[in-house]
Amino acid sequence: MSAWKAKRFWTRAEAEPCEGGFTVRLDGRAVKTPAKAPLVVPTLAMALAIAAEWDAQTGEVKPDTMPVTRAANSAIDKIVPQRAEVVEIVAAYGASDLLCYRATGPEALVSRQAAGWDPVLDWAAGLAGARLAVTRGVIPVAQPAEAVAALSARVAAMSPFRLAGFHDLVAVSGSLVLALAVTEGRLLPEEAWRLSRIDEAWQVEQWGEDEEAAAAERVRHAAFLDAARFYALCG
């Protein structure tokens, strides 16, 4: 994301229709992205969410409290000009998906992974026409070309705004399959998050919670839910 700072100078933020979609105006002045492009988003719901984030600011604008605004900026400034590269990066997760790499032991953890992840892989096989291969350990496993191609095609068909949310779902969870399960309505965001953290939850059960790791986990959890919400706001 691009770094940007500002102090509150407006009294009211409003979402309005504009050419190409919807925008947000601060006391009548159109909001722009950090790269100075017009902030034009695809749905009124997204524009209203962005306006609410701007209205919630006091004093210095804090981008870390404005996830919808940041994701919209990313879609316009980052994804639109380099969409093919982003699609390639995101789609590549299909060849090394978290759900395909299982623990070598103990068997209780292996069983927990299978119970949580196998049904989602079965569901994804229906989308892709082939089931992704599963292995134990970290040695790479070759995936069926037709499955990877089918999953990649779904990523390539996304608009820049959907791709912005989807990118974060994948990057935070480490799983293209879980991200698709959320965006296709197969899993609720909280369910997908829990499935992405099976290994981490196991470690906490065995060794207790590390305060620093727990704080980082909360940040990742919030980012995942923010990404799911942004994707949903795309309409």
Q: Give the alpha-carbon dihedral of 183, 187, 192, 198, to 10 degrees.
A: -150
Residue 192 CA to residue 173 CA, distance in Å, equals 8
What are the beta bridge partners of residue 118? none
Q: Are strands 21-26 and 29-30 parallel, antiparallel or unpaired?
A: antiparallel
DSSP state of 129: S
The domains of the chain are located at 82-233
Per-residue pLDDT reduced to its tens digit, 4-44: 567 888 999 999 999 999 999 999 999 999 999 999 999 99
Cα–Cα nearest to 138, from 191, 199, 88, 193: 199
124 CB neighbour count, 10 Å cutoff: 26
Give the count of alpha carbons within 13 A of 71, CB side only.
Answer: 33
Residue 100 CA to residue 178 CA, distance in Å, equals 11
69 close to 164: Cβ distance less than 8 angstroms = no
CATH number of 82-233: 1.10.3580.10
Per-residue pLDDT reduced to its tens digit, 217-232: 999 999 999 999 999 9
Supply angle C-alpha 78, 84, 88, rounded to 5. 105
Per-residue pLDDT of the chain (235 residues; tens, 9 = 90+): 444 567 888 999 999 999 999 999 999 999 999 999 999 999 999 999 999 999 999 988 899 999 999 999 999 999 999 999 999 999 999 999 999 999 999 999 999 999 999 999 999 999 999 899 999 998 999 999 999 999 999 999 999 999 999 999 999 999 999 999 999 999 999 999 999 999 999 999 999 999 999 999 999 999 999 999 999 999 9
Helices (H), the chain: 44-55, 67-74, 83-91, 107-128, 145-156, 160-173, 176-183, 189-196, 198-207, 211-233
